Amino acid sequence: MNALETIRSRRSIRKYKEGAAVPKEDLKQILEAAMMAPSACNTRPWEFVVLQDREKLNALMKVHPYVSMLKTASLAIIVCAKPEVQEGICPGYFPQDCGAATQNILLAAKELGYGTCWCGVYPKEERMEAVREVLGIDCKPYNVIALGVADEEPAARGYYDESRVTWM
């Protein structure tokens, strides 16, 4: 599959094959792709939590209203923002940078045969605090990405829309 095919075939997956294993080598490739994302001044304002513990996945479902797909997902990757690494250099760009890392996770996972679903956490303060508490972390949780072997094939929802393009 080439990059454009991967982009066109990626979907938000909410049903996974329960109990499907994701080898650590695949996870390392996915995380490497995340860390290859562009970031302002190459500050790389991120950290990643790979969550496979079923009790903590269940706890996340109790504090985040939109992560019910974690019930069947193999794991979650939590992208955490570290805006402090940009202070004094190029402050304020961490949302774009973490978004780029997230997109790379989604595309690398698709390329390796997995489904994903991006569930936002940032900028909802109460949601960030609840996720921090469940995971016992200090950084800013940016999102929760469910990951596993897809057990559904949703239709495409994105499409090219010429009316949203201005040619100059």
pLDDT tens column, 54-69: 999 999 999 999 999 9
Work out the mean pLDDT of the chain and round it to a whole number. 97
Q: Give the Cβ contact number of residue 1 at 10 Å.
A: 11
pLDDT tens column, 11-25: 999 999 999 999 999
Spacing of C-alpha 58 from chain mean position: 18
- Directed axis angle between helix 54-63 and helix 125-135, to 10°? 160
Whether the Cβ atoms of residue 104 and residue 32 lie closer than 8 Å to each other: no
pLDDT tens column, 96-131: 999 999 999 999 999 999 999 999 999 999 999 999
Per-residue model confidence (pLDDT) at position 98: 98
Whether the Cβ atoms of residue 24 and residue 108 lie closer than 8 Å to each other: no
| pLDDT at 42 exceeding the cut of 80 | yes
Q: Helix or strand or coil: residue 30?
A: helix
Surface-to-core class of residue 20, CB atoms within 10 Å of its CB (0-12 exposed, 13-18 middle, 19+ buried): middle
Q: Give the Cβ contact number of residue 131 at 10 Å.
A: 26
Domains of the chain, each with CATH number or no CATH: 3-153 (3.40.109.10)
- Confidence band for 1, pLDDT divided at 50, 70 and 90: confident
